[in-house]
Structure 1
Amino acid sequence: MSPRKANPFKPTAGRMPPLLVGRDGIIDDFVEGLDDGPGAPGRLMCVTGARGVGKTVMLTEFGRIAKERKWGVVDETASDGLAKRLLERFVPDRPSVNLSVKPSLSVAGLGGFSLGEASVSSQRMPLTLREAMGRRLDVLERRKAGLLITVDEAQSAAREDMVAIATAVQHLTREERNIAFVFAGLPTIVSKWLNDDVLTFLRRAQSERLGDIPLDEVRDAFVDTFEESGIVIDGDALRMAVDATEGYPFMIQLVGYHIWRISYRRQRDGKAAENGMSVSEDDAREGVSNALSRLGDAVHGPELDGLSPVDKTYLLAMAQDDGPSSTSTIAERMGKDVGYANIYRTRLIDAQVIRDVGYGKVDFAIPYLRRYLREHAAYIRMSAHDGR
């Protein structure tokens, strides 16, 4: 028996897909930024988008590109203690390095950052982080390289952490050091960080809002990826696969993964046609069904978990329609006036859960969310009621 082939599709957050479909523009901007030197626009970038559009994948690709150029790459995901973790990663394991730290105090509530046996206050952290980054750059720049810092899920960062990082990067950029900073997250980071008076430096960040992929590019990606693994996908099977994705990047990976898996297993077990391996319509149909089941657990559930009870009520009112919903109708179903409903309409549009389709109507921005809401309506209503 020949060795089992690896599935070329990777429907897991942060894992590199076989093709970065539809992302050539943002990648070119980043590469151009590295090549153009300190201060280039592509070196300070904010990547936003709804869940599943490939934000983490983009950060991973940026890191790969930087490493190819022998750059140092530091990847972090925002949560409590972000600045402290960055500082710990920059401190060399040599006692000769003297960072500006003070002895740790066992006093609760002072808001300091622990660093091994030392502590750095929130007021001191920006300068300390800047010194640590500068020392790392001293080494990298001697090799004609630079430093890339990426922060994922930036909407979850504490304000003092973002102040410390932005301040350090700003000063190093002014000094024309070879540094790049890319942060990514849900669309809420635009209002949370880019409009913060203390974080005005981040307003200069090149904004990249990731969206859906044109279906003709999805079709080409499927054909190329299956072909490279020795399987042909065409005809109605290809059409089913492409249409099922609706251009949603995570769904592209899910559909491709499950169709490839089913087709490969069937043909590996001795059922392949004499002219080679190919995807049947049954393979495509079953693969799409499996992908839809997984999409709910991976995207829809987590997305709804992050919304307020009234947000969920608004979405349930929308889900009663087979297509775009009228704002006035949604308000009526919620038992509220249009002004009240519009507050949540705006919130959900900003979060890219729904989209404005004109003429006072909205539709779902996340594929198959309507179907998920209908299938789980009773549970969602109960959880929304409990959350009030």
Structure 2
Amino acid sequence: MSCYTVLYVAFFAIRVRICYTRYTSHMDTGHPARQPNPYRPGFNQAPLVFAGRTDVLDAANEALEVAAFDGRTPRPLILVGPRGVGKTVTLGEISRAAAEQHSWPTVHVEAKRSDLVGELTTRLRAARALFDGTTPGGPGTGRRTRLTGARIQASVLGIGGGVEVSRGEDSSPQSLGDTLRSTMTAAAARGSGLLVTLDELQNSTPAEMHELGGVLQETVPENWPLVFAVAALPSLRGKRGSQLPTYLERAEWHPLESLPVHDAREALTGPAGQSGRPMDPDAADLLLTRTGGYPYAIQVAGHFAWRASHGSDRITAGHAGDALPRITADLEQLFLGRWEDASGREREYLTALAAVQSTVREPNGGQVAQAMGEETRKVSYLRDRLIKKGTIYRSGAGGLHFITPGMGTWVRRHTTG
């Protein structure tokens, strides 16, 4: 062994000893070990405590039972709401219910700017491969069919994991209707069913939605154990009429908005309590005034309050106060991104909307145009462009809102210096 090797081994041993000494001294002082942050701000991050949305989950459970036990294909469920209210997470909860209660897999597709039908057809083909090629058994058993390409998350017949299938390698490609039919035939042969979840449906084209609606309407009389659940921005409501097929218009629509006070408090305090560092009521009160029941903001607030309370056995009002600047800065990045994406004229429209919102709960396009000193018809294109971008949305009552709660206040402050 060379002298360099001996020196290296000795140096490594010393470093290990130092680290061990620091670790044991850290433990000896009684300093609490690190606790993972239980809050999960970000896209499609399932919260530790899923609060509220009982109406949606009850409707989903009923649809699954109708399909599984009554031999009928129920109406699709359509969840509409602004970004950050938990639409994707709620789809995940419905998927979990399908797996746990009925051992059904889920085919999930996020609608891009094109080829929704192609993606859905491919993933249905993967589901058919799962039904055809997997042996029943207990959890973690059975053969896993593995191809290549797009992923379908599966939990069926005791099987967990994914099935992958490549695009463009099928020598006899099938239409969406034919693929759905063959997939459901394979599911029935297994005594199973299928949940299909579609996210960001507002991105799909009218032609794609009409093809999807036509296939579903045509196959409903076949009484498959099939449930469709869809999530989209509120702009999907504006497609009703020529752009949205009748079958989807008659779906079961569920608007998702900010959480009521009770559910918001549960979502905020629940993760802290479950993780051994409960949140004081006055700390929760302070944070809730900043979040407005907006699910994403709740996760942000909890995240920074937890960080501020490091080393403590509780989250106090003092910790919450220390966290407020970080919470504000984090949320303002959302507003700034939307603002910078807007043109000069679009910013004028957003400024007028924010100003009117300070006195009118649900301003309409005419009131915003009046605040701009313009005729409604001359600025309606700005409204439509901002809706298409996902910066604002129109509620079922026709009122205009910012897609992210709190942005109106930020715009008023930002534009007044």
The normalised TM-score by structure 2 is 0.70
Tell me, in whole angstroms, the C-alpha distance in 2 between the residues paired with 1:233 and 1:198.
46
1:246: which partner in 2? 292
Q: Secondary structure at the match of 1:208?
A: strand
Of 131, 144, 153, the residue aligned with 2:200 is 153
Note if contact 2:84-2:295 (Cα within 8 Å) is conserved in structure 1: yes
Are residue 91 (structure 1) and residue 121 (structure 2) matched? Answer: no
1:116: which partner in 2? 168
Uncovered stretches (5+) of structure 2, i.e. residues with no partner: 1-26, 133-165
Are residue 53 (structure 1) and residue 85 (structure 2) matched? Answer: yes
- C-alpha displacement of 1:165: 2.4
2:46: which partner in 1? 16
Larger radius of gyration: 2
Are residue 372 (structure 1) and residue 410 (structure 2) matched? Answer: yes
2:190: which partner in 1? 143
Tell me, in whole angstroms, the C-alpha distance in 2 between the residues paired with 1:39 and 1:306.
46
Note if contact 2:80-2:234 (Cα within 8 Å) is conserved in structure 1: yes
Note if contact 1:262-1:283 (Cα within 8 Å) is conserved in structure 2: yes
The one-letter code sitting in structure 1 at the alignment partner of 2:53 is R
Tell me, in whole angstroms, the C-alpha distance in 2 between the residues paired with 1:50 and 1:77.
16
Note if contact 2:264-2:295 (Cα within 8 Å) is conserved in structure 1: no
Note if contact 1:50-1:352 (Cα within 8 Å) is conserved in structure 2: no
Query: What percentage of residue pairs aligned between the two structures are identical?
Result: 28
Tell me, in whole angstroms, the C-alpha distance in 1 between the residues paired with 2:271 and 2:88.
21
2:327: which partner in 1? 291
RMSD between aligned residues: 3.7
> Which string of whole-angstrom CA distances, capped at 9 and with x for unpartnered residues, describes residues 317-364 of structure 1?
3445792258888545523246656786799799794789x9xx9776
Q: Secondary structure at the match of 2:332?
A: helix
Tell me, in whole angstroms, the C-alpha distance in 2 between the residues paired with 1:363 and 1:86.
32
Are residue 280 (structure 1) and residue 325 (structure 2) matched? Answer: no
> Which string of whole-angstrom CA distances, capped at 9 and with x for unpartnered residues, describes residues 116-159 of structure 1?
15699xxxx9x721221222222222333211111111111123
Tell me, in whole angstroms, the C-alpha distance in 2 between the residues paired with 1:187 and 1:51.
9
Q: Secondary structure at the match of 1:278?
A: coil
- C-alpha displacement of 1:21: 2.0
CA gap 1:143/1:172 in 2 versus in 1, 3 angstroms: same
2:348: which partner in 1? 313
Tell me, in whole angstroms, the C-alpha distance in 2 between the residues paired with 1:215 and 1:293.
23
Uncovered stretches (5+) of structure 1, i.e. residues with no partner: 98-113, 380-388
> Which string of whole-angstrom CA distances, capped at 9 and with x for unpartnered residues, describes residues 191-213 of structure 1?
22x32367211112100011111
CA gap 1:40/1:5 in 2 versus in 1, 3 angstroms: farther
Tell me, in whole angstroms, the C-alpha distance in 2 between the residues paired with 1:331 and 1:130.
46
- C-alpha displacement of 1:31: 0.4
CA gap 1:20/1:241 in 2 versus in 1, 3 angstroms: same
Note if contact 2:235-2:393 (Cα within 8 Å) is conserved in structure 1: no
Note if contact 1:300-1:372 (Cα within 8 Å) is conserved in structure 2: yes
1:385: which partner in 2? none
Are residue 213 (structure 1) and residue 259 (structure 2) matched? Answer: yes
Q: Secondary structure at the match of 2:103?
A: coil
Tell me, in whole angstroms, the C-alpha distance in 2 between the residues paired with 1:329 and 1:128.
47
CA gap 1:289/1:81 in 2 versus in 1, 3 angstroms: same
2:276: which partner in 1? 230
1:109: which partner in 2? none
CA gap 1:246/1:164 in 2 versus in 1, 3 angstroms: same
Note if contact 1:34-1:40 (Cα within 8 Å) is conserved in structure 2: no
> Which string of whole-angstrom CA distances, capped at 9 and with x for unpartnered residues, describes residues 280-302 of structure 1?
223212323222222233x4345
Note if contact 1:169-1:179 (Cα within 8 Å) is conserved in structure 2: no
Tell me, in whole angstroms, the C-alpha distance in 1 between the residues paired with 2:47 and 2:401.
28
The one-letter code sitting in structure 1 at the alignment partner of 2:246 is T
Are residue 132 (structure 1) and residue 179 (structure 2) matched? Answer: yes
- C-alpha displacement of 1:223: 3.0
Of 97, 103, 107, the residue aligned with 1:74 is 107
- C-alpha displacement of 1:25: 0.9
Tell me, in whole angstroms, the C-alpha distance in 1 between the residues paired with 2:306 and 2:252.
37
Q: Secondary structure at the match of 2:51?
A: coil
- C-alpha displacement of 1:33: 0.8
CA gap 1:205/1:256 in 2 versus in 1, 3 angstroms: same
> Which string of whole-angstrom CA distances, capped at 9 and with x for unpartnered residues, describes residues 189-239 of structure 1?
1222x3236721111210001111112322233333211111121243121
Of 166, 186, 192, the residue aligned with 2:213 is 166
CA gap 1:189/1:306 in 2 versus in 1, 3 angstroms: farther
- More displaced, 363-372 or 23-32? 363-372
Tell me, in whole angstroms, the C-alpha distance in 2 between the residues paired with 1:169 and 1:355.
28
